[in-house]
Structure 1
């Protein structure tokens, strides 16, 4: 929908309110939750709202842990450290 400005449907006849739409390849149905900010837009189907809210608690906790680690001086995650420790180093030449 970027760059599209909705106008009154009166110029083209009666419009429809409460109908499903597709915008940018994403289907949005009446009752869905649509949230947007400077980083983007997310559409949560109403029937999945409770599950999404439950999973957000884990996301927020992980983000808080990552922020605390960076504030404490970390430059990489624990997962990256494990991968690097297990990696085989090959030197050219």
Structure 2
């Protein structure tokens, strides 16, 4: 009989490692733009590590707030390059991970943590390049009783994450690229990089075209007076 709420499922698919590596130079704003700006983990989760980009495939954990038993199991089962993404309900009463779990994960080659909840041992993370994003910090430790689930669809600060999805995190936040669209999004991002480079060059050499601003205002029915046009 299936024990809903206390189970560990296998990951059926992961974005290919070679494709993941091609995203290493990609910034999260470009990913977000090409996902129509809705496939991003919310701004409540911020980086707590010293430096370093987060990139890898998601192992998902849904846990009772304040409990990290299934997170420990995720560390044991994760493959190098996986990101452990934890839906702890956004509760920051108890920390989900700390320095010991960070060192266990680092030793295994895990790419980083995303915790929709709290961490502790802040100084250890701030002095490390092991990527961790979380909602907050508390000294209060976790329980280890369960229940919880691994490799199910979870919600992290408003974003659905499926096991095997591509995760990218930088100083601007966290983007999630669904498994089925990773290659397509990479092509779109590369095209955007070229467009934005051309815009920056036109700003520098004084040839940038700003007519689109007034054209958009007119299309929206905005009344442009003489003063607005002069400015």
Give the TM-score taking structure 2 as reference length. 0.32
Alignment of 1:28 onto 2:71:
no
Equivalent pair of 2:154/2:162 in contact (CA under 8 Å): yes
Equivalent residues, number: 88
Residue 67 and residue 19 in structure 1: after superposition, are their counterparts in 2 closer, same or farther (change >3 A)?
A: same
Where in structure 2 are there 5+ consecutive unaligned residues?
A: 1-43, 47-91, 102-141
Alignment of 1:58 onto 2:148:
no
Larger radius of gyration: 1
CA distance in structure 2 between the partners assigned to 1:55 and 1:46 by the alignment: 15
In structure 1, the residue matched to 2:211 is 81
Q: Deviations over 1:59-82 (max 9, x none)?
A: 1111111121222245xx42x225
CA distance in structure 1 between the partners assigned to 2:172 and 2:198 by the alignment: 21
Which structure has more strand as a fraction of its residues? 2
Picking from 11, 14, 17, the partner of 2:150 is: 17
More relative contact order, 1 or 2 (CA 8 Å, 6+ apart): 2
CA distance in structure 1 between the partners assigned to 2:147 and 2:213 by the alignment: 59
CA distance in structure 2 between the partners assigned to 1:25 and 1:81 by the alignment: 36
Give the TM-score taking structure 1 as reference length. 0.70
Equivalent pair of 2:167/2:175 in contact (CA under 8 Å): yes
Which structure has more helix as a fraction of its residues? 1
Q: Deviations over 1:25-63 (max 9, x none)?
A: 110001100101111211000101111011112111111
In structure 1, the residue matched to 2:170 is 37
* 1:16 counterpart SS class: strand
